[in-house]
Every structure is written in C-alpha cells, then in structure tokens.
Amino acid sequence: MKREVVGYSFMSEELIANQLVSSPFFFANAHSTMLGKGVQAHFKQAIPFAELANQAQAMLEQAKSEQCENPVLFGVVPFNQENPTQFVIPETLYVSSSTRANRALSQAKAEAKVISSPTGNHYKQGVSSLLEMFANAGLSKVVLSRAVEVATDEDIDQAKLLRNLLAINARGYTFAASIDQDNRLMGASPELLIAKKGSQLISNPLAGSRPRSSSAAENQAHEQSLLNTQKDLHEHGLVVEEVERVMSQYCHNLYTPMVPSVIETETMLHLSTKLEGQVDDPNVSAIQVAADLHPTPAVCGFPRQPAYDAIKQLEGFDRGYFTGMVGWCDARGNGEWVVTIRCAEVKTRQMKVFAGAGIVNESHPQSELDETGAKMRTILSAAGIQLNELLNA
C-alpha cells in the first residue's frame, strides 16, 4: 500500500470530483480526510463480531512491505453478524487535512418520489407494540428503525452529495463506501463508537434527541428539555453504562463525566457523553474494542439479545449496514470506528434512507416518528431532496 499526503484542495477538486465513484472508500473526521484508490486486499464475508479483530490484523500483517510497514484497513460492519462484513486495504491511500474549509452547501434541488416506505402509522404501531412488550419481556430500551426508498428523476451526483454532507457535518464523521457493484453507503455520522490514538481510548455515545430548529430560542429550550427530562436521561444512561463497562475492560484512568452535555448537528440535538481512558495493552486494536461495543444500546437496545429479537419481529426489513459501524484501523492498532447512522444506500437514481429512535417506557409513538423524520432530513437535504410532508405521513 502506498500512502500519499495531498492538499485539501486537491482532495476535494480532483480526487472527490473524479475518483469517488471508483474509490473503495472515503472517510473524514473534523480534521483529516482519507480516500482509497484501487484495492490491494478485499474481504467480504459474514463472520462473528468476535473474529473481526483477528481477520483485520491478518490482512494488515500480510499487507506490510518495506515501502509501508503500517498499512491502513477500512471496514464496513453490519448491524447483524449474519450479513457480510467488508474490509479493504487500498493500493493507494490519499490523506489530507480537512476538506471542509470554506465549503458552501450546494442549494440545487432534486426531484424525487417515495417508491417504498411503510407508513408512519405502521411505525407508530411498532412503537405501541414495544411499549406493551416492556411490561413482560425484560426490556429497558429498543431502537426501532424504518427505511424510506426514493427515486430521482436524474442521476445522483455522489461527489456533490458528499461535499454537502461534509458541509453540514463539520464536527462529525463523513463516509462513502462501495458495498457492491452499483450501491454505495454514504452518510454523516455524529457518533464516535471508539477511537484509539496511541495509548488513548475515546468513545462518544449519543442517545436522547430533539429535532433542531432554525430558532436559537427554540433550540435553547430543547437543550434544557433534554437535560431535564427523565425519559431522555434514562435512555442516555443505559448507553453510557454499557460503553463504560466495555471500556473498563481495556483501559485504566477511565474518565466518564457525571452528567451528559448536548451537541448539535444540522438537524438534531443529542445528549452526549465523552469517555476517555488509557489502554492497558498498547497492542490492543481499536477494532477489537469496537467489536465488543457493537451494537451499543444507542442503536440496538438493552439487554442486547432481547432487543435484537424485538427488532427482528417488528421492523420488517433488513438493516444491512445501517446501525453497523464504519471506519479504519492500522497495523499498530490505531483507528476510528463510528456508528453507521444518518446514512443511505445510494444507487444511480435511487436512495434508501434509514433512521431510528430509542424506545423506552416513557416514549410516545408520534414523537418517535417525528424524530426519525428529522434524522432522515440530514442526508435527504444533502441530496437536495425535500420530502418533509411525506416522512411523517
């Protein structure tokens, strides 16, 4: 594998513009950007999450050479381990500083229509069914999702879509990954599952949400509501406790803030807790910790297996890579893995958009439906698609 550092203008104006469609992956955080060209090694197979780290490390060891003793692997991991995990090591890895500098959102509109979607009433019925199950199924939380498929009149410009996701996701993680010959997973996730930088281990789970408004006063009210509503604090606490439990097995000096804060994205406000610690074993890989964390209660529920079972019973579709994890790791164990949310599967003239909401005892079906619609607007607005009146119908 060859690694090349380029300027952010070259990354944006040349590589994203001309190489994205053929690239196996693109990944960006708030400070840096990576794009792979060509494929040196590829793995696509359903394997237990417990085997992810060994598979990744074997590929990285085989990819080492005199020219590159620390290759980088990119991966897309599904929500359910019965679906295939995909790992790729590129022939060339281009890296740059952030491509978000002075990036303006393209305002071009795209005509689209819904071609497949369960109705809002179907989703609300699922929430009601879950609320009935909580009494006797031993469940504390279940994340219930839905998917909307839309068709566009013209080809989707993936480079423009990606640039818009970068523009509206300045503090988050933006990704694009080829998942089959004509299907690309694209999204802008605000949620860091795990990052390892040398000896430092970091996780930033999110749970408890409100739609973001154009009114600063309304957003301030929503922020105070999140910090003062027991339903949201309980939902968030379940996630943080599980992340803390897993991280404590790998690190010392683990710091977990006593109370959450609130972060904003383009479309949502979320309760957020950032956990940080120092790894006990410097050889542990980021993907090993990620595999133990995945899926957290933020995207599945608690307890995990009963929540899995409820999701399978009620959702009625295969999530695929939605609410899985996407990211990278190197041969030294460093890496970043984020939760695959605010995303869509993108084809030439079609998008399948996903969103979910955490259901607990105090949930209200209409509020949870509204939350999924607000989350879908992240990627729909980046594509220039306005379907606001249909998302909650």
| C-alpha–C-alpha distance, residues 290 and 295, integer Å | 9
Residue 214 confidence (pLDDT): 87
- Which residues carry out catalysis? 141, 191
Mean pLDDT of the region 80-84: 96
Residue 389 confidence (pLDDT): 56
Residue 390 confidence (pLDDT): 56
Residue 181 confidence (pLDDT): 87
Q: For residue 279, what is the enclosing H or E element?
A: strand 275-279
Residue 388 confidence (pLDDT): 63
Residue 157 confidence (pLDDT): 93
Say whether pLDDT at 311 is over 80.
yes
Say whether pLDDT at 109 is over 90.
no
Say whether pLDDT at 288 is over 90.
yes
Mention every residue, 6+ apart, whose C-beta is less than 8 A from residue 351: 112, 149, 150, 152, 156, 344, 345, 379, 380, 383, 385
Structure tokens at 156: 């989707």
What are the beta bridge partners of residue 100? none
Say whether pLDDT at 382 is over 60.
yes
| C-alpha–C-alpha distance, residues 87 and 45, integer Å | 9
Mean pLDDT of the region 187-194: 96
Mean pLDDT of the region 75-98: 97
Q: Whole-prediction pTM value?
A: 0.94
> What is the rounded average pLDDT for all residues in the chain?
93
Say whether pLDDT at 359 is over 80.
yes
Mean pLDDT of the region 320-341: 98
Residue 107 confidence (pLDDT): 67
Mention every residue, 6+ apart, whose C-beta is less than 8 A from residue 35: 11, 15, 16, 19, 20, 23, 25, 26, 93, 94
Q: How many other CB atoms are found less than 10 A from the CB of residue 78?
A: 24
| C-alpha–C-alpha distance, residues 184 and 199, integer Å | 33
For residue 52, give the nearest of 277, 326, 340, 275 by alpha carbon: 326
| C-alpha–C-alpha distance, residues 327 and 172, integer Å | 13
Share of the chain above pLDDT 90, in %: 82
Say whether pLDDT at 284 is over 70.
yes
Share of the chain above pLDDT 70, in %: 96
Say whether pLDDT at 102 is over 60.
no
List pLDDT tens digits, range 19-74: 999 999 999 999 999 999 999 999 999 999 999 999 999 999 999 998 899 999 99
Fold category of 2-100+112-391 in CATH: Anthranilate synthase (3.60.120)
